[in-house]
Amino acid sequence: MATAFSESEKELIRIKLNSAAQECLGKFGVKKTTVDQLAQMAGISKGAFYIFYPSKESLFFKVFEEYQNSIIDEMFNELNELESVGSEELSDLIYEIYKKVRHSFIMNIIENQELEYLMRKIPEKDILDHHSFDDIFIKKLLLHLKVKKDVEIGTVSASLRAIFMTMLHVKEIGEKDFDNALKLLISGLLQQLIEED
């Protein structure tokens, strides 16, 4: 018979699973990590793992979203400290975020092209909710800016995702010029959006 966990135990286990997921994503990636590994690292049984998540992919997606949220919170904290925000300042901030992602555990998923695999394993509703979150983020971001007329939130959100997805193709684009190309793409997008004084 399974042991019931108290609320504090559940929270501690979630933290341990989150940490284990980040470590495994950085070292092994999505496909090579097993539920057994994650459960062992969190100090629980494989059966208990399924009390918390229906699959390892669900856990990884949750970790991915939490990492995204922390990066976005950091960006808004930095935005709030700026006296004025134009396309150049915002371009620098977005570039720095993308650079952080490139040096995080998430990059292993991107480089091994497992992000697409992970998205295929997640229920469509969760993906749509994730994209809705992107739109909410963009709306909040645009509140800090003087935006050109007729800018559609969905298009901005999709454009930033498209730029982010270039990190799947660093080698094809050219590693030597990738950072400068990334800066140019971000800057070009923002120039299309922001009304400069």
pLDDT at residue 13 in the model: 95
Task: State CA 71 to chain mean position distance.
Answer: 8
In the block, which residue shows the tokens 């286990």? 13
pLDDT at residue 73 in the model: 87
| 50 in any annotated domain | no
| 170 in any annotated domain | yes
| 44 in any annotated domain | no
Q: What residue numbers bound the domain in which 179 lies? A: 56-193
pLDDT at residue 122 in the model: 87
| 110 in any annotated domain | yes
pLDDT at residue 54 in the model: 94
pLDDT at residue 33 in the model: 95
pLDDT at residue 197 in the model: 63
| 130 in any annotated domain | yes
pTM: 0.75
Q: What is the CATH number of the domain that holds 125?
A: 1.10.357
| 107 in any annotated domain | yes
> CA dihedral in degrees (14, 16, 17, 20; nearest 10)?
160
Which residue positions in the chain have pLDDT lower than 70? 1-3, 196-197
